[in-house]
A and B are shown apart, each in its own frame.
Chain A
Amino acid sequence: MTLNITIDLSTLRRAKWHQFVLRFIFGGIICVLAGVIAEKYGPAVGGLFLAFPAIFPASATLLENEQKEKKQRVGLSGSTRGRRVAGVDAAGAAMGCIGMIVFAAIVWRLLPKQSVPTVLIGATAAWFGVSVLVWQLRRMWVHSHK
């Protein structure tokens, strides 16, 4: 089975600037919040917020609206389609969370002993590798049960 992953750079040209402004603000706020909480309640509580779904609501809403607009251009409502696509995106995020758990575990165990760039680059590569593996395994499972 092939991966069937495509890259479409034209989506960046079509993207509206306010989408990135919104993500920038949410991303910035959650990073500040994680630091403030760690300062006030300690790193053990603050660390939880490193995995806070900060930009997830904004991204899902933007995706739903984008799909809805596409369908409305051809005279359809597009609400159901938009929500389904946002749901598929959320399912992908759930698989990415398994990679995120691996990322956190690697940094936790190796950071005190190894160099910072090595640990962060290695953990990010592990996040990506594990996420893609889980995504591919789920895809194979779905195909075999069709």
Chain B
Amino acid sequence: MLTQLLLRFLIGGLVVCVFAAISDIFKPKSFAGLFGAAPSVALATLCLTISSQGKVYAAVETRSMIAGAAAFFIYASCAAWLMMKRHLSSLAVTVSLIPLWLGVSLGLWYLLLR
């Protein structure tokens, strides 16, 4: 169990860093931003999940991921608007909007996917 968690941590951290490095080299920033929503966590996690729990279990996870990604879209759109139009601090905006992501993703899952 501990080995599995450690492996998840290392692979997850590595994949996220690779996508972040790719994002850093691109210009303009609106294009580089696409990589902020790269499926990095999913790619890192799914490989391990498939090997330990099987394909069907992983497919169920990705079905819910659709709701999580839709919530991420709303979260990122609100964050963009607050930073560009209201000039609010990025740290304050991105952290304070996390409950919005949680609420929307759980709400969508409950209404559409449960």
Contacts and interface: CB of A to CB of B under 8 A. Distances in A.
B80 A87 contact: yes
Interface of B: 4-5, 8-17, 20-21, 23-50, 53, 55-73, 75-77, 79-85, 87-91, 93-95, 98, 101, 105-106, 109, 113-114
Given A46-B61, A60-B79, A112 B33 contact: no
Chain A interface mostly: helix
Interface of A: 4-9, 11-12, 15, 20, 23-32, 34-36, 38, 43-57, 59-61, 63-64, 79-80, 82-101, 103-105, 107-108, 111-112, 116, 120, 123-124, 127, 131-132, 135, 139
B61 A43 contact: yes
Given A63-B90, A107-B59, A116-B55, A9 B64 contact: no
Contacts of A104: 39, 42, 62-63, 65-66, 68-69
Contacts, number: 321
